[in-house]
Structure 1
Amino acid sequence: MAPPSSSEGDAHGEERPPASPGPVDAALTVPRGVAQVDFQSSHWTGLIFIVALFVGGWEFGVFGLLGTVAATLTAYLLGVTWNQISLGLEGFCGTLIGVGLVLYLGTSWMTAALVIGAAVAGSVLTAAMRTVLKPYNLPTFTAPFCVVTTAVVIGAPSFERVWSGHPDSSPPSATDPGTAMTWHDFWQGVFNGIGQVFFQDEWYVGLIFLIGLAVASRLVAAAAFASSLLGLLIGWWFGAQAADLGAGLYGYNAVLTGIALTGTFIVLSPVGVVYAAIGAATAAGLTAGLTDLFDVVGGHTLTWPFVLVTWVFLAAVPILSRLRRTA
């Protein structure tokens, strides 16, 4: 999920993996894959992210790792270049698939089997989408995760063995309506916006993710925090449900968009920072529209707003003379 370099990229270039795998580097592809959800290739960041997932719930840690390993192993067996795999670029969609499916379908052996199958499908789809998007110099981002997970949650109610134990995944506002935001909603919502990138809605889990980002880059951590705050304020300004704001549901797409456009895929500059803020605000605004659009299939917006907005904002850069893509 990092910007392009020799293969698809490395966010900061601080970790150049060897061209062929050794046992240590092979093992480190897993935390790097988890870290690449937020565009980072640091295995230390990935390890902190894994801790955050287990703090959120053992099932998120286990199923997230299952998806990461399944996707990474699939890419390796199908012959994706090792540099691509070692940077974690083949694992992050699997991470999100694992965490998302256990959240929506519940903890069971059937869910575990679906995570493996969906991660395999996501790996193949990643290769296909990379081929399609290459002429436009656009990364796949989390689009493979979005496509696969959306397909699974749409079809799941048709299968008794899949759907029988599914938990209630309604937004908090379903049981706690109202637009009057409290200080509690505000400060927890900022941290939850960071955690919701991984479907986590406990503020302290979001704080752990923020620490992980700071280990990789203080700029990235600052961009994530500011983008989450901006997403929350945009939602509040438009009159979104306070419980949803407090849960971070208007922040996480803004977080991913803000990180992507603040020095990751676009060269850092004053104009670039403003551009990133506009993109983050747009992603937050689009969240409500896509949630309503997907309401017929449970309102699972996932990271579609981030993917669509960031594709558009990156595609526009060649025409905008004050902005430049990273190398």
Structure 2
Amino acid sequence: MNSNPDTDDPLVQHVSRPQPMQNFAIALLHGCSQIFLQRSALVGVATLMGVLSGSVPMFLGGLIGLVTGTLIATVLRYNRADIDEGLYGYNPMLVGTALFCFFDTSPLLVGITVVAAGASTWLLHALLNRHVPALTLPFVTVTLFAIELINALGLADPNPQPLVGAGELNPHSSFFLSFGQVMFQDNMLAGVIFFAALLAHKPVAALFAAVGMFCSVVITMLVGISDTQVNTGLFGFSAILCCLAFAERSWYAAISAVIAATLATLFTVMAHSAGVVVLTLPFIVSTWFVMSVGKRWGQ
């Protein structure tokens, strides 16, 4: 994502003169990794593996979105550096993964995903031109609109989402499922893969993400959310993303991360109580708020 991406990628350093297809492949992997606010082929591969381990349809949907967004940005000659960073890949990939999560796979859904991925790419481009930290706003905006449109017109059959949490609070389950839920995965293996990749690529990012997950558990327990619901990881993924947005070696970054994670968890709890699907909107709002306050404080 374009808020604070990590730019140390050994793969790029070892490819001195990449060919066009190599450039495109690297941009795709960076697009995957930007979901976790990293620029890393390793994290990108792990993201694909994690999704594939949990759901083949969601893997295909995410891949359709990823390729569509990156290809559109390339054809329209958007900023080359932004494409290489993967900034035009992560929102479309999230769009595709989400649509194939909430709806049954069909040829029509594939077409809808391509259109929605293109729309999120255009929206991101517009936000980048206005120097707005887009984060996952294009994904949230386009996906929520697409869900409402599909439901209203009956364009695809819904795919009911099961409750996956255990009866009593399970630290391992809640920890790794929170990481898995970043990509709509309700299995622990995906969460293990995501966390391991972060730990291998940038330990401080993995540490911050773990702190975010811990904050979400504490807040949800304090406000009376049941153990079963906490175990699903649905209250932790936005907090994890908030902490990844501030993952730097400083006390200021750590305090900002904790505040953002706390706010994101509270917003998620309120949305859950209201029965509203908000996806990563709590992450966006909380991160924007903390960034804005920090900027004003610095001034």
Is the shorter-chain TM-score for this pair beyond 0.5, marking a shared fold?
A: yes
Tell me which residue corresponds to 1:219.
204
Maintained 8 Å contact 1:191/1:228 = no
Cα separation, 1, equivalents of 2:194 and 2:228: 21
Relative distance call for 1:239 and 1:170 in structure 2 (3 A) is same
In the alignment, which of 204, 224, 246 is matched to residue 239 of structure 1?
224
The size of the alignment, in residue pairs, is 296
Task: Give SS of 1:219's match.
Answer: helix
Cα separation, 1, equivalents of 2:17 and 2:135: 23
Relative distance call for 1:154 and 1:18 in structure 2 (3 A) is farther
Maintained 8 Å contact 1:67/1:95 = yes
Cα-to-partner distance string for 1:7-55 (whole Å, 9 max, x where unaligned): xxx4134447889862212112111111100111111110111111100
Q: Percent identity?
A: 23
Ranges in structure 1 where 5+ consecutive residues have no aligned partner: 5-9
Given the alignment of the two structures, is residue 11 of structure 1 paired with residue 3 of structure 2, yes or no? no
1:217-296 to 2 correspondences below 5 Å = 217-263=202-248, 268-293=249-274, 295=275
Cα-to-partner distance string for 1:107-162 (whole Å, 9 max, x where unaligned): 11111111111000000111112233x1xxx41000000000010111211223x2
Task: Give SS of 2:120's match.
Answer: helix
Give the aligned residue type for 2:92: G
Query: Which TM-score applies when normalising by structure 1?
Result: 0.84
Give the aligned residue type for 2:143: T
Given the alignment of the two structures, is residue 140 of structure 1 paired with residue 134 of structure 2, yes or no? yes
Tell me which residue corresponds to 1:7.
none
Maintained 8 Å contact 1:21/1:82 = no
Cα separation, 2, equivalents of 1:128 and 1:204: 36
Given the alignment of the two structures, is residue 85 of structure 1 paired with residue 83 of structure 2, yes or no? yes
Tell me which residue corresponds to 1:40.
38
In the alignment, which of 161, 165, 168 is matched to residue 169 of structure 1?
161
Given the alignment of the two structures, is residue 150 of structure 1 paired with residue 154 of structure 2, yes or no? no
Runs of 4+ in 1 over 6 A off after TM superposition: 16-20
Relative distance call for 1:302 and 1:19 in structure 2 (3 A) is farther
Q: Residue 272 of structure 1: CA displacement?
A: 2.4
Tell me which residue corresponds to 1:300.
277
Cα-to-partner distance string for 1:271-301 (whole Å, 9 max, x where unaligned): 32122111111111110223345x3xxx322
Relative distance call for 1:270 and 1:108 in structure 2 (3 A) is same
Task: Give SS of 1:262's match.
Answer: coil
Q: Residue 169 of structure 1: CA displacement?
A: 3.0
Query: Which TM-score applies when normalising by structure 2?
Result: 0.92
Give the aligned residue type for 2:61: F
Ranges in structure 2 where 5+ consecutive residues have no aligned partner: none
